[in-house]
Each structure stands twice: as C-alpha cells, then as structure tokens.
Amino acid sequence: MGRDDVEVVVLGTGTSHGVPMIGCACAVCTSDDPRDRRTRCSIVVRWRGARLLIDTSPELRLQCLANRIDAVDAVLFTHHHADHVVGLDDLRRFNWLMKRELPCFGMPRTLERIERMFPYAFDPHLQTQSSKPDLSLRPIEGSTFALGDVEVTTVPLYHGEMPVLGFRFGAFAYCTDCNRIPPEGFDRLRGVRVLILDALRRRPHPTHFTLEQALETADRIGAEQAYFTHMAHDLPHAETNASLPTHQQLAYDGQVIRV
C-alpha cells in the first residue's frame, strides 16, 4: 500500500434493528442473498499504517471473526447511539492482542455518554475480578485529531437535530447516521473521491438520508464512487443496485474498498 492508499473493510451496513429484523418475514429479511444480511454499521480503515475501527456495533465480535480483523490501533466513534457502541466490551480482545490500552476518539459529548453506558469500564474505583476493556478516552476538539503521525479530519454532520461526526482519510470519507451536512461539512469533503454515506430507505425519515437524498448529496460532494450504508429492510441489495448508476451503489457486509 502506498502512503495515501486507503483500505476499507465494511463490517456492517444495517440500520439499528439489523437486517433481517427479528420477527419480520418480508422479502429482504428472508432473502437468500448474503448481501441482504446487514449487521449494524461499522468499518475498519487501514491508512498510513494505522488500523482504525469506526464504532463498536452489537455484532463487533462476529464482524471481526468474519473479516479476520485481529488488530486495531484506535477506535473512532461517530456518535453514542446504541447500534454504534454496545459492542464496546469486545474491545477487551484487542487489549489482550495488542498488549496495551486502546485510544477511543469521539466528540466530548459522545465519550461522556459512552462512559455513562459502561461505568464498569471507566470507573477507576470499581473493583472487579472480571476483565474489563482498557480504553483511554480522547475527546476530539478541533477539525482534526492525531494518532501518532496519522492525522484524521472530522466532518460535521447532523443526525436529525444531533451533531455527529463523519471521518475523512485522504480521498475517502465515511458519513453514516446523518440527514444533513452543514456548509463546513461540505468544505471538508471537497476532493473526496470515494464516499460511504447514510441511505436508510426510500421513504423520508427524520434522522437519516433517504436513498434519493443520498444520491443527490453524493453528486453534490462530487465523489467518483459512493457506497451507501445504514440500510433498512426496505432496500433489496441486488434489485436496488440494478436501479442505481454503477458509481452509486449500496455497500454490503464484508465488502473491501480500496482507494
């Protein structure tokens, strides 16, 4: 890999319920196509020698096993919603494999909420004989943050009323859980060639882009290639992709994207 090359392993592409959903017998939830099976949203990015996990989904362990992820240098959190954080305890394996604590980056508000959701992991006074994740919380204050000599650019996004973060690594950007990008976000996405963007379904939703809005937004950003994520069971993979231009397609679990 060259210095500016990015390799992305798409761990999960499903909305908060996952696809199939519990107790749903629709065509997508009962589909035989493995690309219609969507675990909760997460990716691993390899860039400039660092392996960065974005979010800790409820299926983190299964995702790492399926994609042979056995090392992670840091975790980046987009926001604190349960479908993006509740797999946090599985980070214990990376502590053990890497023999060190794992830095976790996110907005101050995101990290505060995660601390409250996992008191046993962060309370230094709490005595336990069980193992717990060894994490250092690193609040992101500005438009960029550094892990060693790897500098990552944040992208401000809105998920309904809630500010959340996208992340940019060279010519690649990951923007899940959003339905609005403020002007500053578009500025930071200028020149991105490959994009992963939220596209929940075709019907409107108060906190996620619809497929149509995602197509327009990807065009506005000018990405040569856009992949969509955080899909509900309304979007069958093969049929939806056949209806879309080849440079704007639904992503799928296990997809590897090289930029």
According to CB under 5 A, which one of 24, 71, 82, 97 is a site residue for Zn ion? 24
Rounded CA-CA distance 196/138 in Å is 24
DSSP annotation string for 170-196: TTEEEE-S-SB--HHHHHHTTT--EEE
Is residue 114 a contact partner of residue 85, using CB atoms and an 8 Å limit? yes
Q: Which lies closer to Zn ion via its Cβ, residue 1 or residue 26?
A: 26
Q: Closest approach of Cβ 190 to Zn ion, in Å?
A: 25
Q: Closest approach of Cβ 187 to Zn ion, in Å?
A: 23
User: Among the candidate windows 148-156, 177-185, 187-195, 213-221, which touches Zn ion by CB under 5 A?
Assistant: 177-185
Is residue 259 a contact partner of residue 43, using CB atoms and an 8 Å limit? no
- Would you count residue 26 as binding Zn ion (CB under 5 A)? yes
Q: If DSSP codes are grouped into helix, strand and coil, which group holds residue 6? A: strand
- CA count, 13 A, side-chain hemisphere, 91: 28
Binding string, residues 63-102; x marks residues near Zn ion by CB under 5 A: ------------------x-x-------------------
Q: Which helix (H) or strand (E) holds 62?
A: helix 60-66
- Would you count residue 233 as binding Zn ion (CB under 5 A)? yes
Q: Nearest CA to 165 among 88, 224, 111?
A: 111
- Would you count residue 46 as binding Zn ion (CB under 5 A)? no
Q: Which lies closer to Zn ion via its Cβ, residue 29 or residue 62?
A: 29
According to CB under 5 A, which one of 5, 7, 17, 29 is a site residue for Zn ion? 29
Provide the binding-site residues for Zn ion, judged by CB under 5 A: 24, 26, 29, 81, 83, 177, 233
